[in-house]
């Protein structure tokens, strides 16, 4: 009898199963769609997306170097950005440059302690603001801009890559929110 009641009501998150099914079909099909996913345009977009994430990663590192106090706040976001870079890398590109590896700890942000170093730390990239809040919001802006770029790029991408781009763009928007809105 509880079963009857159960059957008549719809579970609130019923779609979860459906999502899984969609996912399976998405993964199991090869040939045609798969070719689209790996067209040269798609590969270029994938590479560019990986590079964008790597550039963003460098900004995180520069910000961390200049503001060690932000460590606990930035570290989890940084490691997600690293995972994004990885997700865009295919077998060859997976060995992405610099701090591409997902394990954040293997990196030096703790060391360069005192004093903001606007032109130090990392090659290229804009200087990190000396003010901590300004540094955070500069990073938030960078995240938001990149999310917008990805939202545009996904329109012309093959289906799976578009889905990944949309997700990573959403993650970027979340980072921007976490960086900007929440006080320490």
Interacting residues toward another protein by CB under 8 A = 6, 9-16, 18-23, 25-29, 32-33, 36, 76-77, 79-80, 83-84, 87, 147, 151, 154-156, 158-160, 162-171, 173-175, 177-178
What is the end-to-end Cα distance of the chain in Å, rounded?
52
Q: Tokens 């955070």 — which residue?
A: 136
CB of 170 to another protein, least distance (A): 4
Minimum distance from residue 49 beta carbon to another protein (Å): 13
What angle do the packed helices 132-153 and 40-66 form, to 10 degrees?
Answer: 170
Q: Which is nearer to another protein, 91 or 181 (CB)?
A: 181
Q: Rounded to the nearest whole angstrom, what is the least distance from the CB of residue 62 to another protein in the complex?
A: 20
State the helix-helix crossing angle for 159-180 and 40-66, rounded to 10 degrees.
Answer: 20
Contacts of 67 (CB under 8 A, 6+ apart): 116, 128, 132, 135
Phi-psi region of 107 (alpha: psi -120 to 50; beta: other; left: phi over 0): beta
Residue placing its CB nearer to another protein in the complex, 121 or 171: 171
| CB of 13 vs another protein, minimal distance in Å | 5
Q: Which CB atom, from 8 or from 119, has the smaller least distance to another protein?
A: 8
What's the rounded Cα separation, in Å, for the pair 44 and 62? 27
User: Please, which residue, 79 or 117, has the CB nearer to another protein?
Assistant: 79
- CB 180, min distance to another protein, A: 11
């Amino acid at each position: 009898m509880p079963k009857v009641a159960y059957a008549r009501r719809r579970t609130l998150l019923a779609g979860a199963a459906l999502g899984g099914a969609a996912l399976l079909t998405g993964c199991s099909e090869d040939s045609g769609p798969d070719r689209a996913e790996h067209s040269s345009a798609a590969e270029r977009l994938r590479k560019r997306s990986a590079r964008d994430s790597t550039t963003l990663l460098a900004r995180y590192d520069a910000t961390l170097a200049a503001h060690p106090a932000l460590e606990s706040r930035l570290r989890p976001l940084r490691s997600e950005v690293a995972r994004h870079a990885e997700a865009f890398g295919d077998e060859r590109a997976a060995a992405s440059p610099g701090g591409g590896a997902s394990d954040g700890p293997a990196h030096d942000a703790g060391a360069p302690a005192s004093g903001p170093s606007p032109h130090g730390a990392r090659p290229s990239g804009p200087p990190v603001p000396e003010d901590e809040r300004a540094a955070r919001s500069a990073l938030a802006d960078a995240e938001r801009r990149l999310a917008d770029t990805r939202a545009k790029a996904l329109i012309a991408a093959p289906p799976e890559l578009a889905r990944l781009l949309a997700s990573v763009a959403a993650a970027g928007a979340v980072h921007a929110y976490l960086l900007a809105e929440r006080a320490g």
